Amino acid sequence: MLIDIVSSILLLGGALFCAVGAFGLLRFPDLLSRLQAATKPQTVGLLMVLAGVALQLRIVDAVGLVLVALLQVVTAPVLSQLVGRAAYRIGAVDRSSLLHDDLGDRLRREGVPTPKGRPGDR
């Protein structure tokens, strides 16, 4: 009985996190904010859903869900980082919205030209 309640809370909470992430993906104005909305709440939401499902399964069957969770935790931030870096390098990021431009500083030190961010990009 208690396991069913905890599982239900995790499933509903995970679904809510995923919905909030999808809403943020639609509503945020720029690429970097959308990347944030696409990775953090979606990853937490999936982990909560997987935990809720795992509580309803036998231990042997839940081991596969641990592998899914591990894959998500490892790949989502890396993919987000690579997409953000690629967008920065092609000039799709409005640099005036950045508080501190670490990548730009590093690229300038290395002598790599950085394109200007387009302020009107959305």
Of the candidates 97, 15, 100, 83, the residue with the CA atom closest to the CA atom of residue 51 = 15
Give the C-alpha separation, 46 to 44, whole Å. 5
| Tokens 């790599």, located at residue | 112
Q: Is the C-alpha dihedral spanning 43, 44, 49, 50 positive or negative?
A: positive
The overall pTM is greater than 0.85: no
Tens-digit pLDDT profile for residues 2-24: 999 999 999 999 999 999 999 99
Of the candidates 92, 99, 88, 50, the residue with the CA atom closest to the CA atom of residue 71 = 50
CB atoms closer than 10 angstroms to residue 109? 8
Tens-digit pLDDT profile for residues 89-113: 888 888 877 888 888 888 888 888 7
Mean of the pLDDT values across residues 77-83?
90
